[in-house]
Amino acid sequence: MASFTQTPVVEPGQDRTMVLNMGPQHPSTHGVLRVLLEIDGETVVRMMADIGYLHTGIEKTCEAKFYQQVVPLTDRIDYLCPMTNNLCYVLAVEKLLGLEIPPKAQWLRVLLNELTRINSHLVWLGTHALDLGAMTVFLYCFREREEVLKMFEMVSGQRMMTSYFRVGGIALEPPLGFFDRVRDFAGYFPEKVDEYENLLTGNPIWKMRTKGVARMTAEDAIALGATGPTLRGSGVDFDLRRDIPYSSYEKFQFKVPVSPDGDVYARYLCRVQELRESIGIVRQALDGMPEGPIKADAPQVVLPEREKMKTEMEALIHHFKIITEGFSVPVGEVYQAVESPRGEMGYYIVSDGTAKPYRVHIRSACFANLQTLPTMCEGRLLADVVAAIGSIDIVLGEIDR
């Protein structure tokens, strides 16, 4: 974080240019992003992002917690896709342990992850359109998002900070009526996507505001470490769910939307198509949901059922040990990546054989995607900066961690 007392990072050049400070309390910076812009009239000559306003030291905190205590921390990294964070973390720990997860748990994880993607994309679409002056879309998107949040509340008791996945499975069976509710939602949601598209996709004002704006080539996107729709909007066909599958994604059929143009409109098209693909995956998960347990058979790691705890000595002992001293994880290191709504989210965990992780590093998609901003904006108009920031779908909680 560059402080105000120091020399400005973007130096004013000749008399023609001036330095403009945008944020951190600007409504279209999606949180607390501060951007320094050197402008010549209305053209951006140079820009740089200043982050760190939300840094909470989650990686350091993880080192002082038991493995199972880290799960609630992961929700708070990216508050728009809590389940994706939960999933990535538990997958990494399960890989360290060598645990096999029952199919039903895997399918439930896929189902909830796609609902999370829908939730996150709806927030993105609403706020992105709002930034560019389309108020109605925001209201429509939040109407459907509310329904998704209610489903999250059904399974986990929380609308946003779900902490629903556990190392070795998931916390609880979904309550009665949950699947019907999801099926109902999956039935009418495609029509709602049509509604959003009717408002935007063919709209000449929307097109003028987004087409050809904030362009980025595929080479630049790869070199700068962009992932997710930011990368696919530049024409690179890469999606971790299909290419390096995890949690049974290889058993689902879905298309990976790619747009070659590399502008704000291309990234918009990618995400809107992803909404449709995601609801398709949700439907497949509902139809093919396997029967069976939702937790792995690993008494040292997974908490026993409440009923067993009251009747079986062994279960009570395991419960006591997991709660009081955690479970130890064999020495090693893993890097587990999942496709979050924003791109590649990775957890790198180093274990020293104790019950607390030696090091947890979170590779956040937005952190790398944010670096593409100067490439997109330099040489373009000031008003396009807002469109560019919206189009990479940043969440500052994830960037600063």
Partner 1 sequence: MPLSPAITDLEQLKNHPAVARLVSWNPAAVERARFDRDELTIHLERGSLLEACALLKDDPACPFNFLSDVTCVDWYPAEPRFEVVYHLLSIAKKERVRLKVRLDSGSPVVESLTSVWPGANYFEREIFDLFGVRFSGHPYLRRILMPEDWEGHPLRKDYPVEGYR
Interface contacts to partner 1, rule CB under 8 A? 1-3, 6, 51-52, 55, 57, 59-61, 63-64, 95-96, 98-100, 222-226, 236, 238, 243-244, 330, 332-335, 337, 344, 346, 348, 350, 358-359, 361, 363, 367-368, 370-371, 400-401
Instruction: Output the smallest distance, CB 46 to partner 1, in A.
Output: 12
Instruction: Output the smallest distance, CB 134 to partner 1, in A.
Output: 31
Q: Residue 119 or residue 234: which is nearer to partner 1 going by CB?
A: 234
Instruction: Output the smallest distance, CB 225 to partner 1, in A.
Output: 3
Q: Residue 147 or residue 344: which is nearer to partner 1 going by CB?
A: 344
Q: Which helix (H) or strand (E) segment is 106 a member of? A: helix 103-131
DSSP state of 142: H
**Short-list 262, 252, 269, 187, CA closest to 217:** 262
Measured between alpha carbons, how far is 6 from 17 in angstroms, rounded to an integer?
19
Q: Which residues contact 100 (CB under 8 A, 6 or more apart)?
A: 296
Instruction: Output the smallest distance, CB 205 to partner 1, in A.
Output: 34
Radius of gyration of the chain (CA): 22
Q: Which two tokens stand for residue 135?
A: 């108020």
Residues 25, 57, 149: CA angle, nearest 5 degrees: 65
Q: Which two tokens stand for residue 285?
A: 């998960």
**Short-list 16, 20, 13, CA closest to 35:** 20
Inter-residue contact 96 to 351 (CB < 8 Å): yes
- End-to-end Cα separation, the chain, in angstroms: 14
Q: Residue 170 or residue 360: which is nearer to partner 1 going by CB?
A: 360
Neighbouring-strand partners of residue 22: 35
Query: 349 vs 75, 95, 234, 329, 366, CA distance in Å?
Result: 17, 10, 31, 11, 20
Instruction: Output the smallest distance, CB 217 to partner 1, in A.
Output: 13
Q: How many helices (H) and strands (E) does the chain have?
A: 17, 8
Q: Residue 2 or residue 286: which is nearer to partner 1 going by CB?
A: 2
Residue 367 has phi, psi (to 5 degrees) of -55, -45
Instruction: Output the smallest distance, CB 373 to partner 1, in A.
Output: 11
Q: Residue 99 or residue 134: which is nearer to partner 1 going by CB?
A: 99
Q: Residue 47 or residue 151: which is nearer to partner 1 going by CB?
A: 47
Q: Residue 272 or residue 337: which is nearer to partner 1 going by CB?
A: 337
Inter-residue contact 95 to 348 (CB < 8 Å): no
Q: Residue 74 or residue 156: which is nearer to partner 1 going by CB?
A: 74
Instruction: Output the smallest distance, CB 227 to partner 1, in A.
Output: 8
Q: Residue 87 or residue 370: which is nearer to partner 1 going by CB?
A: 370
Residue 163 has phi, psi (to 5 degrees) of 45, 45
Instruction: Output the smallest distance, CB 63 to partner 1, in A.
Output: 7
3-class SS of residue 21:
strand
Instruction: Output the smallest distance, CB 231 to partner 1, in A.
Output: 9
